[in-house]
Each structure stands twice: as structure tokens, then as C-alpha cells.
């Protein structure tokens, strides 16, 4: 991707628009190879986030091939190029989106099973929701 600008102007990406693209990807990407999930159907990253929320997993791996597939279908191949040229920034954007869209646990935890970190994170989520 080449951007031709006068030499005295600096290109500044619209990170709010990029974050919106990340939200679309994380919340709507479907993987037809996945078995049907009763809560999230075949929404791959929603399923992965639910597993983290349920403490079945500790991380969410975002596959570059999924990003390429999603953005080629939406005709926004420039997003992939921007991601590859500024990966650290886009990892941060995707992490923010995942934090903001993390579902509540679909299983009940006993209070004694919760760590101090879990209690703090629950309080942070509650504070974020009431602030919005």
C-alpha cells in the first residue's frame, strides 16, 4: 500500500476506525470448521473469550490467516497491510477490544475458588460498565 502525500505532511491513521474494524473481526468472525457452540454458534473469538471467562483457558490466540480471510471478504486488504507494518499497535488494539468484549462467565464459581486477581478483575469490569 502506498500513500502519496506532500513531503511536509505526516500520515496519521484513524485508530478509532481501526479499533472498530477490530471489534467487527473479534465479534463476528465465524469459523465453519468449528463445532456448533450452544452460546456463540461458530463465532471463533467469542468462543475463545468465553473459555477464558470460564477459566478453561488463559489466552486468546488471534490467527493472522483469520484476519486475512475476514478482511479479504470485507474488501479491506489495507487493514492487513497496516497490521503487518505496525503489529505492536494492532496487538494493543485487539487486546483492548477483547478486554472490552469479554463475556461474563457462563459457569458459577464458588467464592472460595476465586483468587484475589479474579475479585479485582470483577470489580474493574463492574466499574467499567457503570462508567459507560
Average pLDDT over residues 79-91: 95
The residues, any chain, with a CB within 8 Å of residue 125's CB and separated by 6 or more, are: 102
* Cα distance between residue 18 and residue 13, in whole Å: 8
Q: Give 96-118 pLDDT, tens digit per residue.
A: 999 999 998 888 877 777 788 77
Contact predicate 28/21, CB 8 Å: no
Q: What are the residue ranges spanned by the domains of the chain?
A: 15-106
The end-to-end CA distance of the chain, in Å, is 37
Q: Give 4-30 pLDDT, tens digit per residue.
A: 555 566 667 899 999 999 999 999 999
Q: What is the mean pLDDT of the chain?
A: 88
Amino acid at each position: 500500500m502506498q500513500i502519496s502525500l506532500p513531503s511536509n505532511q505526516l500520515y496519521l491513521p484513524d485508530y478509532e476506525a481501526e479499533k472498530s474494524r477490530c471489534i467487527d473481526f473479534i465479534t463476528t468472525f465465524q469459523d465453519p470448521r468449528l463445532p456448533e457452540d450452544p452460546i456463540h454458534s461458530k463465532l471463533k473469538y467469542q468462543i475463545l473469550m468465553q473459555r477464558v471467562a470460564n477459566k478453561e483457558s488463559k489466552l486468546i490466540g488471534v490467527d493472522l490467516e483469520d484476519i486475512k480471510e475476514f478482511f479479504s471478504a470485507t474488501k479491506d486488504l489495507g487493514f492487513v497491510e497496516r497490521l503487518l507494518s505496525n503489529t505492536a499497535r494492532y496487538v494493543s488494539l485487539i487486546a483492548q477490544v477483547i478486554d472490552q468484549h469479554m463475556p461474563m462467565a457462563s459457569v458459577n464459581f464458588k467464592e472460595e475458588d476465586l483468587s484475589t486477581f479474579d475479585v479485582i478483575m470483577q470489580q474493574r469490569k463492574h466499574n467499567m460498565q457503570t462508567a459507560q
